[in-house]
Amino acid sequence: MKARLPEEAPAGEGARRIDELAAAIRRCRICVEHPDKGRALGHEPRPVFQVARTARICIASQAPGIRAHESGIPFSDPSGVRLRQWLDIDERTFYDASRIAILPMGFCFPGFDAHGGDLPPRPECARTWQDSLLAGLPDLRLLLLVGSHAQRWHLRRRQAPGEFWRLGVNETVRRWREIEGSATAPRCIVLPHPSWRNSGWLKRNEWFEEQLLPELRRQVHALL
């Protein structure tokens, strides 16, 4: 199943179609009824995302955690607090879908692995919905690629030289300037996941706060 949305449509029609697409995603049960390799989602789907045709910034994340799954609100957890700090914006701005889209690689909480960590995003979501959603965002100017799954998927399609999508998240974020300056439109800024589990990495890599975050905030504020 591949949803399609015309790349160019009158604003009113485009808004209606992106709303219809969002409604279809909220009804989606593909990971239960037609799962990849027969591995169905182990709980009831609850897609968590936000989108509107007028969004100029898109946060391409990995998948909702358990708290977002329970609340139905993206990044309604400590990771969201840290991400908003990185962006230097408040909750009202962050959850304004008319300005910021939040489109994870997997729309539903994927469940826990044997060690209690989150499983990877469900693969059905991206290949079914992402292209059509991005085609429905004509004003998109900045993609924030949060975590390895989002970076691999988007950088492969942005055709940035150097095959950055093959790198691990640590090396990708270290080379953020090359990626930000080379990927095709919209511009891309790569970020580690804002999980508090990455606090050690952030302490060891002071350049992230000193160099990347000021540029991230400059671009985000300019578009808002």
Express as a percent the part of the chain with pLDDT over 90: 75
Tens digits of per-residue pLDDT, 31-44? 999 999 888 999 99
Q: Whole-prediction pTM value?
A: 0.90
Tens digits of per-residue pLDDT, 93-103? 999 999 999 99
For 150-181, b/e burial (b = at least 16 CB within 10 A) is bbbbbbeebebeeebbebebeebbbebeebbe
Range scoring the smallest mean pLDDT among 5-14, 46-55, 69-78, 131-140: 5-14
Looking at every residue in the chain, the average pLDDT score rounds to 90
Contacts of 21 (CB under 8 A, 6+ apart): 3, 5, 129, 132, 133, 136
Q: How far apart are CA 74 and CA 50, in angstroms?
A: 8
Q: Is the peptide bond before 161 cis (omega within 30 degrees of 0)?
A: no
Across the beta sheet with 187-191, the strand order is 100-102, 57-60, 142-146, 187-191
What confidence score (pLDDT) does residue 159 get? 63
Tens digits of per-residue pLDDT, 159-192? 665 677 778 888 999 999 988 877 677 999 999 9
Average pLDDT value for residue range 4-10? 45
Local confidence band at 4 (pLDDT 50, 70, 90 cut-offs) = very low
What confidence score (pLDDT) does residue 209 get? 96
Full set of structural domains in the chain with CATH = 11-223 (3.40.470.10)
15 touches 31 (CB < 8 A): no
What confidence score (pLDDT) does residue 11 get? 56
Q: What are phi and psi of 80, to 5 degrees?
A: -65, -35
Local confidence band at 114 (pLDDT 50, 70, 90 cut-offs) = confident
Q: Is the predicted pLDDT of residue 206 greater than 60, yes or no?
A: yes
What confidence score (pLDDT) does residue 183 get? 63
Q: Is the predicted pLDDT of residue 6 greater than 50, yes or no?
A: no
What confidence score (pLDDT) does residue 22 get? 96
